[in-house]
Amino acid sequence: MTGDRSVNEKLKNDAIIKGTISLPMPGKPNGGLADGFEVYQGFEYDDMKIPDGLYRIKCVDVEQSLSSLGGPAYTWIFEVTGGSYDGSVLKLCTALSPANMWRVAEVIQALGIEQQDPVIRFEKADVVGRECGALVRNKSCNGRSVSVITKIMSPKKLSENSCKH
């Protein structure tokens, strides 16, 4: 039985990668990928380098993507609001695996989407334009230093931790 499950998972993952299975996207109840794929390959974007610190950020988009392991994920696109790095773009990839759903919930809650139900439901329009806070650290990725969101928090938590930028 275990072999059958791993074969089925491989077939499912292959189908996702080839685009024959659609993954759900917030705001599109039974929708899938629109015109193509975005594959997360790490943080290798030149415009993503800002100093370590706390920042107020705004969600400008959330896209369906694949994690570095090939599973379904959301790529959250944020812009720094205010300060010297206003408009700087940061991306955060959250895998949609059972072990990583805490990270998705952390982002949703930081953006102020609260529900009493254990299953959080949201649409893209619910999160785009909302602000939150982020702790950004520069890390080495493939030999380059890049800015990475290491912690995401509510605006209130950000204020408590005093935003320096």
Domain assignment of residue 81, yes or no? yes
Domain assignment of residue 165, yes or no? no
Domain assignment of residue 137, yes or no? yes
**What is the β-pairing status of strands 72-80 and 131-141?**
unpaired
The three-point CA angle 103-75-132 to 5° equals 60
Q: What is the pLDDT of residues 140-165, one digit of tens each?
A: 877 888 899 999 999 999 988 865 55
Domain assignment of residue 2, yes or no? no
* Amino acid at the residue 38: E
| Entry pTM | 0.69
Q: Pull the structure tokens for residue 111.
A: 């953006």
Is pLDDT of 90 > 80? yes
Domain assignment of residue 11, yes or no? no
Q: How many CB atoms lie within 10 A of CB 34?
A: 11
In a 3-state reduction of DSSP, which class is residue 17? helix
Total number of domains constituting the chain:
1
Domain limits for position 121: 34-160
Q: Is 82 left (phi over 0), alpha (psi -120 to 50) or beta?
A: left
Q: What is the pLDDT of residues 40-82, one digit of tens each?
A: 444 444 446 899 999 999 999 999 998 888 889 999 999 999 9
pLDDT at 9: 54
Q: Pull the structure tokens for residue 88.
A: 């700087």
Which of the pair, 108 or 12, is modelled with greater confidence?
Answer: 108
Q: What is the pLDDT of residues 104-136, one digit of tens each?
A: 889 999 999 887 777 777 889 999 999 999 999
Domain assignment of residue 28, yes or no? no
Domain assignment of residue 27, yes or no? no
State the DSSP H helix or E strand holding residue 60, giving kind and residue range, or none if neither. Answer: strand 53-66
